[in-house]
Amino acid sequence: MITIRGNSLVPGKARGELVISTKPISFLGMVDPVRGEIVAGDTDLLNIRIAGKILAFPYMVGSTVAPYIIYRMKKLNTMPAAIAVQRADASLASGCAVTKIPLIDQVETDKLLKYKLKIAIFDGKNGIIKIDDK
């Protein structure tokens, strides 16, 4: 079991498949909140479902509308189970806080690439992601 540490921003626990983007994500335009899927943009997660998964990416780009999109995903039950980023901004943090999606930042997301699609245990309170490396 490997442990990745970060900085806790929104507490909570989650378990799910780890999906990782090496590129930033914008919730406005890139994410379809109805399907819980990345549908557009310069991303390595195109047509990948993020609903119920542990989503890791470097940082968020784009609009201050992101918290509303994240909230809509929560209402539709299509939101990620948890989010890990290298750098969180106020829009991402507030969207996760309002919807209670666990959020950790200061995570070296490029180190997670070799664990893509593995099951991860996310502890937002302590800023820890545990991954079975077998």
Other residues' Cβ atoms within 10 Å of the Cβ of residue 7: 11
Catalytic residue among 8, 63, 91, 94: 63
Other residues' Cβ atoms within 10 Å of the Cβ of residue 124: 24
Give the three-state DSSP class for 55.
strand
Beta strands in 42-115 (DSSP E): 54-59, 82-87, 103-105
Give the three-state DSSP class for 26.
coil
Contact 4/115 with Cβ under 8 angstroms? no
Residues shown for the chain? 134
Q: Which DSSP state fits 110? A: G
Q: Is 63 a catalytic residue?
A: yes
Active centre residues (catalytic): 63
